[in-house]
Amino acid sequence: MRILVIEDELKAGEYLRNGLTESGYVVDVAVNGNDGLHMAQELRYDLIVLDVMMPGMDGWEVMRRLQLDKKQADTPVLFLTARGTLEDRLKGLELGADDYLVKPFSFAELLARVKVVLRRGSQVRQEDLLEIADLQIDVPKRRVVRAGARIALTNKEFALLQFFMLNQGQVLSRSLIASRVWDMNFDSDTNVVDVAVRRLRKKIDEPFAIRLIHTVHGVGYRCEVEA
């Protein structure tokens, strides 16, 4: 599998290249956000390890531009950064990142997280076509269509919708959603799940007469066509 590391600190970049290469991955390193974005747009990567604080284009902006690119929006991203406040971590996840690791870090932990993100990416391809009412998602093609209209979703929105559709009719707690979609323990003080669901609803529910994602007060959410 091919991994792109976007890291402006040369020693850190080489450390990551050597460690990930020894672990069996093909690794490219970009030393700034502009070069990293260009490489991500030119080649197909299975994962991007992305620093935040870089001269010129920072990691936040790289992430935003990747999400706007239909060809790159489904590429998993792991933020690796010294910015470790709760607000920073939430920002990274809300932008669509699949994981967030704060420096300093142990390489063993980074490698474990890389494996989890890559494994999760392969697991979600088990069912190719999911349907509910007039909404369809083609998993291999990362395509979402409702009532004949194509809907663009970020990588995280797609994973969230896929999780809902794989569990139609079931009440899904916020903690379960956080653990399965974000691979993180749910912190009741955060609203990352609610924010993501709200954004997803704007795209796949609000423009249409029949709502598919329903709030179960005090618990979480349920995806179904209500009678």
Cα 48 to Cα 35: distance, rounded to the nearest angstrom: 13
Reported as a single tens digit per residue, the pLDDT across 50-76 is 999 998 899 999 999 998 876 777 789
pLDDT at 143 over 60: yes
pLDDT by residue (tens digit) across 146-204?
Answer: 999 999 998 889 989 988 998 888 889 888 888 778 766 656 567 888 999 999 999 99
64, 94 in Cβ contact below 8 A?
no
List the domains of the chain with CATH numbers: 2-121 (3.40.50.2300), 129-223 (1.10.10.10)
Q: Supply the pLDDT for residue 185.
A: 61
Query: Percent of the chain, pLDDT > 90?
Result: 55
Confidence (pLDDT) at 189: 62
- Rounded to 10 degrees, the C-alpha dihedral 10/90/162/208 comes to -130
Contacts of 122 (CB under 8 A, 6+ apart): none
Average pLDDT, the chain: 88
SS (H, E, C) the chain: CEEEEECCCHHHHHHHHHHHHHCCCEEEEECCHHHHHHHHHHCCCCEEEECCCCCCCCHHHHHHHHHHCCCCCCCCEEEEECCCCHHHHHHHHHCCCCEEEECCCCHHHHHHHHHHHHHHHHHCCCCCEEEECCEEEECCCCEEEECCEEECCCHHHHHHHHHHHHCCCCEEEHHHHHHHHHCCCCCCCCCHHHHHHHHHHHHHCCCCCCCCEEEECCCEEEECCCC
pLDDT of residue 102: 93
Q: What is the pLDDT of residue 118?
A: 87
Q: For residue 4, what are the contacts with CB-CB under 8 A and spacing of at least 6? A: 27, 28, 29, 30, 36, 39, 40, 43, 45, 47, 48, 49
Condensed to tens digits (0 to 9), the pLDDT of residues 13-36 reads 999 999 998 888 889 999 999 999
Q: What mean pLDDT comes out for the span 98-122?
A: 88
- What is the pLDDT at residue 42? 82
Instruction: Give yes or no for residue 81 having a pLDDT over 90.
Output: yes
How much is the pLDDT for 122?
Answer: 58
In this prediction the pTM is 0.60
Q: What is the pLDDT of residue 20?
A: 93
Give the pLDDT score at 192: 86
